A and B are shown apart, each in its own frame.
Chain A
Amino acid sequence: MLKLNSLQKSIILILLVVWALVNIFPLGVMFISGFKTTREIFMDPFGLPKKWTFNSYVKAWHVANFAAYFKNSIIVSLVSIVLILFVSSMGAYVLARFDFPGRRLIYLYIIAGLVLPVRLAIIPIFLLIRSFRLNDTLFALFLVYTAGGISFSTFLLVNFFENIPVDLEDAARIDGAGVFRIYWQINLPLLRPALATVTIFNFIRVWNDFFFPLIFIDTDAKKTIPLGIQNFFGEFDIQWDLLFGALNIAIIPIIIFFLILSRQFIAGLTEGAIK
């Protein structure tokens, strides 16, 4: 794109490396400290551990309810994403492919949610969930995350439908297929790239969320990772090996997941905001 001489290129490369170090440094410190004892962390913060030990991980895993936090985070993400995909793709199908009175108005009503920060409505949501007796259950989280994902997902899918030819549907309709079957068998497979974007966008949103578990979940065994780690920090203030172990357990899986699917992640998260 830009035509630069080699001096300019070298300067740019140096600045990129510096920023890369600013990114890596905190994560590297965290990673390595997770293999140290508390004593080593304090005495020799920059050195490598004398003996690499997994003690802090084992301790963090057992002392805190990490196995439960992990399981809860996975369940909540999976259920919410499946619900979002199903509900939004059906809705998007109707909005994109059929004409009926009020179609445009309903579409605008749904995408208005793109800019309503859900947490601003938290008091009535909290009261509603409480009146269903769903507070302190994972169901509360399924519902809130599904509701919060509908606007963006429907918006993206409606737009994507415009790239899918209608002819395939007409052929199926002549064969007598019902509306749901046409959606399920013909459109859903063609929607796959958009469904992937929707999945990743919502996965990051749900997996990393702290606010709704904070409001809804009290029982330790029902906490997700971000909320679980919060108490952990309150309780083990001085056992720094445990703290770093816990942070590593929380962070490393998501980084590995990202490195495997980095292109889809970047597309999912940047399109989520700009598209």
Chain B
Amino acid sequence: MVAAKSIYKRYSFLWMLVPALAIYTMLIAYPFVSSLALSFFKWPGIGPKEYVGLANYKNVLTGYMSREFYRALGHNVIFFILSWLTGIIPGLIFALFLSAGIWGTNFFKTLFFIPNTLSIVIVGFLWSLLLNPQWGFINQALKIVGLGVLAKPWLGDTTLALPTIILVNAWRSMGFFILTFLAGIVGIDREMFEAARIDGANEWQIITKIIVPQLIPIIGTLTILKVIWSFNVFDIVFAMEGTQAGPAGSTDVLGTLFYRIAFGGLGSSDVGMGLGATVVTLIFLIVFPISIIYVYLVEKRTKAG
């Protein structure tokens, strides 16, 4: 009795951890496990659940849903590759520009970051007005500068729509990449530059032999984030092409496919919470190993100071 009391007293501070732990467990940890479990059931959302084993996975991976699934998965892969190329590389280049000590650097930094503070759906709506085929500013501007042939129905063309959405996404997130790289460049020990100059290195060599290698960990982290974001993309496609991810499904990603199956109904070959949970679990299986690496890197870097 006395011992129990003293243990209670000794660990009485633990109650302060309870709210965070309880909310997190109830609304994050438990739902993840529960979602996994749900993927083995057939269930329209109400009424009894029917255990179907791996049938949902079979339907998605090799059965009647597989065509839609692989098409969406392919679009996610394209999203990752193109958004990496249009995000990481120009982000690094502009960060180098901003590190050159040119007039107005702070002004540019702030300005470049503005789009990143805006809601993705709102950015999507704004650009769908700008890209509108009848009126759209972009087409009008192309005509004025004599490039009228390039005026296209950007969001209505099955080959152009996805790259257009990716570019709009790049427009919004560029500031984030620029400033993250810039923070990395500023953190590099300046003495390394001086030492290299004494050894006769030119500025180009300083960039390629010192700065870029020093930025590899940041490039790695940003690449991982890009993977996680690319496989979870939803808002921008929804805003610019709707739940059907038109034209003719040419911008359909796993996020919109999942939404239709679990919540939308319309236009999907099947509806259901179990099938939806299956798609989500598959997304999770793709993203999870990469996420583990991310946590490991972040932990390591924090420990290193």
A residues sitting closer than 8 Å to B (CB atoms) are: 1-4, 8-9, 12-13, 15-16, 19-20, 22-24, 26-27, 29-30, 41-42, 45-46, 86-88, 90-91, 93-95, 98, 100, 106, 109-125, 127-128, 143-144, 146-148, 150-151, 154, 159, 179-180, 183, 204, 207-211, 215, 225-226, 229-230, 233, 240, 243-244, 247, 250-251, 254-255, 258-259, 262, 265-266, 269-270, 273-275
Given known A210-B235, A275-B298, contact A110–B20 (CB-CB < 8 A): yes
Contact A120 B283 (CB under 8 A): yes
* Interfacial chain A residues near B96, Cβ < 8 Å: 2
**Known contacts A20-B108, A229-B125: A128-B27 contact under CB 8 Å:** yes
For residues 253 through 296 of chain B, which have their beta carbon under 8 Å from a beta carbon of chain A? 255, 262-263, 273, 276-277, 280, 283-284, 287-288, 291-292, 294-295
- Given the known interface contacts A42-B135, A269-B116, the answer about A12 and B97 at a Cβ–Cβ threshold of 8 Å is yes
Q: How far is the CA of A20 from the CA of B31 in the complex (A)?
A: 43
Indicate if the CB atoms of B101 and A1 lie closer than 8 Å: yes
Do A179 and B225 touch across chains, with their CB atoms under 8 A apart? Answer: no
CB-CB < 8 A to B287: which residues of A? 115, 117
Any A CB within 8 A of the CB of B154: no
- State A185–B203 Cα separation when bound (angstroms): 52
Chain A hits for B276, CB < 8 A: 123
Give min CB distance, A135 to chain B, whole Å: 12
Count B interface residues, CB 8 Å: 100
Find out whether the CB atom of A154 lies under 8 angstroms from the CB atom of B185: no
Residues of B within 8 A of A119 (CB): 232, 234, 255
Contacts A19-B112, A90-B16, A123-B35 given; 15 further ones with Cβ under 8 A? A4-B203, A16-B97, A23-B114, A46-B144, A94-B14, A110-B24, A121-B31, A121-B32, A121-B280, A128-B27, A146-B23, A211-B235, A265-B113, A269-B117, A274-B218
Query: Are A147 and B23 in touch, CB under 8 angstroms?
Result: yes
Interface residue B118 (Cβ < 8 Å from any Cβ of A): yes
Partner of A147, one of B26, B129, B190, B239: B26
Chain B residue nearest in CB terms to A111:
B295
12 of the cross-chain contacts (CB-CB < 8 Å) are A2-B100, A19-B94, A90-B17, A121-B28, A122-B262, A128-B31, A146-B23, A148-B28, A179-B16, A226-B122, A229-B122, A273-B225
Residues in chain A near residue B186, CB distance under 8 A: 1
- The answer to whether A179 and B13 touch across the interface, beta carbons within 8 angstroms, is yes
Where the two chains meet, the residues of B that have a C-beta atom closer than 8 Å to any C-beta of A are 11-14, 16-17, 19-21, 23-24, 26-32, 34-35, 38, 94, 96-104, 108-122, 125-127, 129-130, 135, 137, 140-141, 144, 171, 174-176, 179-180, 183, 185-186, 190, 193, 197, 203, 206-207, 218, 221-222, 225, 228, 232, 234-235, 238-239, 255, 262-263, 273, 276-277, 280, 283-284, 287-288, 291-292, 294-295, 298-299, 301-302
Give the shortest distance, in Å, between A1 (CB) and chain B (any CB).
5
A2-B101, A4-B203, A121-B35 known; A247 and B122 CB under 8 Å? yes
A229–B29 Cα distance when bound, in Å, is 32
Q: How far is the CA of A251 from the CA of B277 in the complex (A)?
A: 34
Q: Are A15 and B130 in contact (CB under 8 A)?
A: no
Cβ of B100 and Cβ of A9 under 8 Å apart? yes
Known contacts A124-B35, A159-B302; is A266 also within 8 Å of B27 by CB?
Answer: no
- Given the interface contacts A16-B94, A23-B111, A46-B140, does A91 sit within 8 Å of B20 by beta carbon? yes
How many angstroms between the C-alpha atoms of A124 and B12 in the bound complex? 33
A125–B301 alpha-carbon span in the complex (Å): 33
Which residues of chain B come closer than 8 Å to A230, judged between CB atoms? Answer: 121, 125, 239
> Which secondary structure dominates where chain B touches chain A?
helix
Which residues of B sit under 8 angstroms from A117, Cβ to Cβ?
Answer: 228, 232, 287
Which one of A110, A121, A243, A259 contacts B21 once the chains associate, using CB atoms below 8 Å?
A110
Whether A106 pairs with B228 at a CB distance below 8 angstroms is no
Q: Report Cα–Cα, A255/B113, bound state, in Å.
A: 10
Chain A, residue nearest B30 (CB): A124
Is A13 within 8 A of B171, CB to CB? no
Contacts of A16 in B (CB 8 A): 94, 97-98, 102, 104, 108
Of B27, B130, B197, most buried by chain A (CB within 10 Å of CB) is B27
Q: Do A265 and B17 touch across chains, with their CB atoms under 8 A apart? A: no
By a CB distance below 8 angstroms, the chain A residues around B144 are: 46
